[in-house]
Structure 1
Amino acid sequence: MNQQIPGARPPTLPELVRAQDRLTFLYLERCVISRDASAITATDERGTVHVPAATLGALLLGPGTNVTHQAMVLLAESGATVVWVGERGVRYYAHGRSLAKSSRLLEAQAELVTRRDSRLAVARAMYEMRFPDEEVSGLTMQQLRGREGARVRKSYREHSQRTGVPWERREYRPDDFGSSDAVNQALSAATTCLYGVVHAVVVALGCSPGLGFVHTGHERSFVYDIADLYKAEFAIPAAFDAAAQDLADVGGHVRRDMRDRLHKAKLLERCVRDITSLLIRDPNELDQWADVSMLWDGRFGAVSGGVSYGSGEETDW
């Protein structure tokens, strides 16, 4: 049976309006914000206004606004930023942003990924996390990929034998979840959960989801890098366990199981430690940069902010 994903189709990149061609922002207050096809609707006692979501640069939500889930989905797919603000936009309250107050990890990530030797060193370190008893320091990327592929195939076979669930190969269609067998459906659901958790950690730390070391060219390359550290430990066994139970809703079951497994293993804390150790040799360096605004200096790297240079006077910022 062909089960199509419900809801409106997300826009493709060519369909999105370029940033420079968008409305700078739209401020709304005391209304209900919803969705009608590809438009955001704002409804109050005077009626309803439609605004194409792809034309918005930023949507400012003032007091008295209520926004639906589908409206937020459309805004996210359209690349629009949503900001919660005070009366007439005077006060800033929140928007989807990093939890980090420092750019230290992002700078380290960018520096490491742009040099071939350091990028290979980080990639090897990732593989060492998965092969703690093997020497991989002299392996090329091609050799590392070969070992990883063999490891994943072995994991599939072992869990197939453990659960009695037949396994042939990884097969799925992103636009048709129900076209694959139960174990492939469960694998898709489990890995999606894992990607979501890892993505949340990557963004919360202020890193770039797109600057990957093993994966490249995709907006979530670094997410895939980090998620691969845990896939064989969490997603694969959860998927085979779910498939073995002959469930009507295998996706829903494996999502709940993944939630429990990740919580029990304290994966959020582990993921933070792993990312930090991959990008920063000494994690204590982060404390030196916490919530401090510096100015770049061509000779010294960084100098203190909040100083009126040239006058000898410090500002009171």
Structure 2
Amino acid sequence: MATIGERGASSAWELTRMADRISFIYLERCTLHREDNAITAEDADGVTHIPSATIGTLLLGPGTRVTHQAMSLLGDTGAGVVWVGERGVRFYAGGRALTRSAALAQAQATAWANRRTRLDVARAMYRLRFPGEDTAGLTRQELLGREGRRVKDRYRAEAARTGLTWDGRHYTPGDFTSGDPANQAITAAAQCMYGIAQTTITALGCVPGLGFIHSGHELAFVLDIADLYKTEIAIPVAFEVAAEDTEDVGSRTRRAIRDRVNEIGLLKRCVNDVKRLLLPDAETDPADPDQDRVTLQTDHGTDVDAGRNWGWPDW
């Protein structure tokens, strides 16, 4: 039998189409190993076999250990691997994306590089955050002004709903305990949203640093996507946790966000939102290509097939 080092990598034609795979599989508190062409997850309840070719992206939560052979198989079958906190609310590290296509990354870079289309995506993000809001023709200053008012209104509304006294948003970077329980909970909830957004962006092969609202930071796009769910999920959960008890606010908020995210299927929704924002008119799923295709760019705005030498008459 061939050893791991002697096995050849599977070609794109031998692998399961991404469209036919399970987008995300989340595992925690288990040991991952390899048995033939399956990943095994062993925990206190026994061993579960997972055909590696059916995995889009594997999310490894707390308490997971993975062997070298398991990682070798995952890489051979084109599966992505992301190390996360419970239910994906923290992002720690990532391997390859779940897709071999650069379609989303290219669409993101193209939209970001033009000031007009960059503003178009920013407007679309605000419409996702605040359904029914007419953003047509609004400048960035007007968008930021509306966003600021809506978020402040939501803080006051959630404080009134939960019976908390609210004196505004106060956060000192690096000093989590400086705020009151509500502010601590909001900070913890926001960190969870960042983890979910970065997990999604990494899995889709997008560029974390190319933001459409935020700018100048390696995680600008992560902050953009995380904000899509701030007023709907993060703020209400934070106030509910702070209203229940003033002790251990940070960890209780993270657990509450974890449960809410799992309940509403936020990871899947986040994936779909990113795709719609970057390629709203795509007829096929940009993250689930039928084949592994490499092309060459030309001066005429069209691409030609790679794998051959192109002379001048061929262009």
In the superposition, the TM-score normalised over structure 2's length comes to 0.66
Deviations along 1:167-192, one digit per CA (max 9) or x if unpaired, are: 11111222221121111111111110
- Work out the number of aligned pairs and report it: 224
Q: Quote the Cα distance in structure 1 between the aligned partners of 2:233 and 2:116.
A: 31
Give the corresponding residue for 1:52. Answer: none
Aligned to 1:213: 212
Q: Distance in 1 between matches of 2:192 and 2:301?
A: 43
Measure how far apart 1:96 and its partner are.
2.2
Q: For residue 295 of structure 2, what is the amino acid of its counterpart?
A: M
Residues 104 and 289 in structure 1, CA contact (< 8 A), matched pair in contact too: no
- CA change 1:297–1:117 in 2 (3 A) is same
Alignment check: 8 A CA contact 1:105 1:280 kept: yes
User: Residue 295 of structure 2 aligns with which residue?
Assistant: 294
Segments of structure 2 that go 5 or more residues without pairing to the other structure are 1-66, 82-93
Q: Residue 101 of structure 2 contacts residue 289 of structure 2 at CA under 8 Å; is this kept in 1? A: no
Distance 1:243 1:85 in 2: 43
Counterpart in 2 of 1:153? 152
Partner SS state of residue 245, structure 2: coil
Shift of 1:137: 0.5
CA deviation vs aligned residue, 1:196-249 (integer Å, no higher than 9, x gap): 011110111111111001111111111111111110011101110111012421
2:198–2:208: 8 Å Cα contact kept in structure 1? yes
Amino acid at match of 1:242: V
In the other structure, the counterpart of 1:21 is none
SS of the residue corresponding to residue 216 of structure 1 reads coil
1:202/1:208 contact within 8 Å kept: yes
Question: CA separation of 1:292/1:153 partners in 2, compared to 1, >3 Å: closer, same or farther?
Answer: same
2:179 counterpart letter in structure 1: S
In the other structure, the counterpart of 1:189 is: 188
Q: Which has the higher contact order (CA 8 A, sep 6+)?
A: 2
Cα 1:290–1:236 shift into 2, 3 Å: farther
Cα pair 1:102 1:289 within 8 Å, conserved: no
Instruction: Report deviation, 1:282.
Output: 2.6
The letter for the 2-side match of 1:250 is: V
Matching residue of 2:230: 231
* 1:132 pairs with 2:131: yes
The CA distance in 1 between the partners of 2:117 and 2:279, in whole Å, is 12
Asked if the contact 1:125/1:278 (under 8 Å) is kept, the reply is yes
Q: Which residue is 1:107 aligned to?
A: 106
Aligned-pair CA distance for 1:290: 4.9
Tell me the amino acid that sits aligned with residue 167 of structure 1.
Answer: W
Q: Which amino acid aligns with 2:303?
A: A
Residue 174 of structure 2: aligned partner: 175
Which residue of 2 is the match for residue 272 of structure 1? 271
The residue that corresponds to 2:252 in the other structure is 253
Deviations 1:106-161 (A, max 9, x none): 11111111111111111111111123222210111111111100000010000000
Where structure 1 has 5 or more consecutive residues not aligned to the other structure, the ranges are 1-83, 311-317
In structure 1, distance between residues paired with 2:258 and 2:68:
32
Q: CA deviation at 1:281?
A: 2.6
Q: Cα–Cα, structure 1 residues 128 and 104, in superposed 2: closer, same or farther, change >3 Å?
A: same
Q: Which amino acid aligns with 2:280?
A: R
Residue aligned with 1:244, SS? helix
Rate the CA distance shift 1:281–1:289 in 2: closer, same or farther, 3 A: farther
**What letter is aligned with 2:299?**
G
Q: 1: distance between equivalents of 2:234 and 2:309?
A: 54
Secondary structure of the corresponding residue to residue 146 of structure 1: helix
Give the fraction of aligned pairs with identical amino acids, expressed as a percent. Answer: 48
Deviating above 6 A after TM superposition, structure 1's stretches of 4 or more consecutive aligned residues are: 92-95
